[in-house]
């Protein structure tokens, strides 16, 4: 049955975000699909989803690291469509380097994009969501790297660990408002972010001995958005083939 609910997904043009979008479209959610640059791909996906599932979509384009343009775009969205039922903060980047060799822009872009976007995206949305007095869902995307730390990823591990702390704290603030806030921490997932070089090294650390599929992460997010997950909040759910 169509849930009559809207999910806003950041970074929906590729990889995990795209898989989340297709999964939720297939379940009857309406979608607000966001990306930074690949609007043509997103438009095409929206048309296909509309044809296949009758999905109502709206498209958003902004750099999640840019607080001002993110706020302006989300306020415009809210004035047109009202608050979404669910927000999935998925957009993220890596800029790997050993710590001694790390450049200022590598540190800044990863922290501002991955952790800065927690504030930039959720701050304009949370009060409007609370004001509806209806149940809601927030899901953030961390990483195994944020839980155990990873060589060459001091910036990325810091940003993803920060997301976990922020998620747990926001869950405390919103629990009595019926809005659950959880974090999904994927391991090694087959997207543009994972190069063959990364795979060659990291696969050895995966007990399941294979890379994960974006659809496997999307399935967990679908569950967290469901009624069945209404008593799950402030949690980190790992989707990592047993890495941690
Ligand atoms: P991809 O590189 O495949 O896709 C990244 C998405 O984020 C794209 O839609 C991209 O938009 C968007 N994006 C990136 N930077 C920005 C920005 N500054 N502003 C707005 N949008 C942005 O990544 P994945 O699908 O692999 O990763 C999705 C999430 O999962 C990330 O948070 C990542 O850290 C996390 N993750 C991924 C793992 C993996 O193994 N793949 C493992 C653990 C966590 P556009 O297409 O327009 O550039």
The reply to whether 32 falls in a domain is yes
CB atoms within 10 A of CB 172: 11
Domain containing 85 equals 6-237
Residue 102, pLDDT > 90, answer yes
Which ligand 1 atom lies nearest to the CA of residue 63? 19
The reply to whether 229 falls in a domain is yes
Q: Cα(17) to centroid of ligand 1, in Å?
A: 7
Tell me the CATH number at 213.
3.40.50.720
Confidence at residue 39, expressed as pLDDT on a 0 to 100 scale: 94
Per the annotation, the verdict on 77 as an active-site residue is no
The reply to whether 134 falls in a domain is yes
The reply to whether 87 falls in a domain is yes
Sign of CA dihedral 187, 84, 116, 110: positive
Residue 236, pLDDT > 90, answer yes
Residues with CB under 6 Å of ligand 1 are: 11, 13-17, 35-38, 63-65, 90-93, 113, 141, 143, 186, 188-189, 191-194
Tell me the C-alpha distance between 244 and 233, whole Å: 21
Confidence band for 244, pLDDT divided at 50, 70 and 90: confident
The reply to whether 222 falls in a domain is yes
Q: What is the pTM of this model?
A: 0.98
Rounded to 5 degrees, φ, ψ at 109 are -65, -35
**Model confidence pLDDT, tens digit, residues 154-201:** 999 999 999 999 999 999 999 999 999 999 999 999 999 999 989 998
Q: What is the mean pLDDT of residues 72-99?
A: 98
Q: Cα(15) to centroid of ligand 1, in Å?
A: 7
Q: What percent of the chain has pLDDT over 90?
A: 96
Tallying the residues shown for the chain, one arrives at 244
Overall number of domains in the chain: 1
Which among 29, 85, 156, 231 is annotated as catalytic?
A: 156
Tell me the C-alpha distance between 49 and 187, whole Å: 28
**Model confidence pLDDT, tens digit, residues 208-233:** 999 999 999 999 999 999 999 999 99
Confidence at residue 1, expressed as pLDDT on a 0 to 100 scale: 67
In terms of DSSP H, where are the helices of the chain?
15-26, 39-53, 67-81, 104-110, 116-131, 144-148, 154-174, 196-202, 214-225
Residues 6+ apart with CB under 8 A from 193: 15, 92, 94
The CA radius of gyration of the chain, in Å to the nearest whole number, is 17
Q: What is the mean pLDDT of residues 70-96?
A: 98
Sign of CA dihedral 143, 149, 152, 154: positive
The reply to whether 244 falls in a domain is no
Residue 2, pLDDT > 80, answer no
**Probe target for ligand 1 pocket from 12, 14, 112, 236, with the most ligand atoms within 8 Å of CB:** 14
Contact (CB, 8 A) for 83 and 133? no
The reply to whether 242 falls in a domain is no
Angle ∠(147,148,153) on CA atoms, nearest 5:
95
Burial code (b: 16+ CB inside 10 Å, e: under 16) for 66-104 equals bbeebeebbeebbeeeebbbbbbbbbbbbbbeeeeebee
């Amino acid at each position: 049955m169509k849930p009559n609910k809207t999910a806003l997904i950041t970074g929906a043009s590729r990889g995990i975000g795209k898989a989340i979008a297709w999964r939720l479209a297939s379940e009857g959610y309406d979608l607000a699909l966001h990306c930074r640059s690949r609007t043509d791909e997103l438009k095409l996906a929206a048309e296909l989803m509309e044809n296949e599932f009758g999905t109502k979509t709206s498209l958003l384009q902004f750099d999640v690291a840019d607080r001002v343009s993110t706020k302006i775009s989300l306020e415009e969205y809210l004035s047109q469509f009202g608050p979404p039922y669910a927000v999935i903060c998925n957009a993220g980047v890596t800029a790997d380097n050993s710590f001694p060799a790390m450049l200022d822009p590598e540190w800044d872009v990863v922290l501002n994009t991955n952790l800065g976007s927690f504030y930039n995206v959720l701050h304009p949305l949370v009060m409007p969501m609370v004001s509806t007095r209806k149940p809601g869902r927030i899901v953030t995307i961390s990483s195994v790297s944020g839980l155990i730390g990873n060589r060459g990823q001091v910036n990325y591990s810091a940003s993803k660990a920060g997301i976990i702390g922020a998620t747990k704290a926001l869950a405390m603030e919103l629990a009595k408002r019926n809005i659950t806030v959880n974090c999904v921490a994927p391991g090694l997932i087959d997207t543009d972010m994972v190069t063959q070089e990364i795979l060659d090294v990291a696969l050895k650390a995966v007990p399941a001995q294979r890379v994960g599929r974006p659809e496997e992460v999307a399935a967990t997010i679908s569950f967290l958005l469901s009624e069945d997950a209404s008593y799950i909040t402030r949690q980190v759910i790992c989707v990592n083939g047993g890495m941690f």
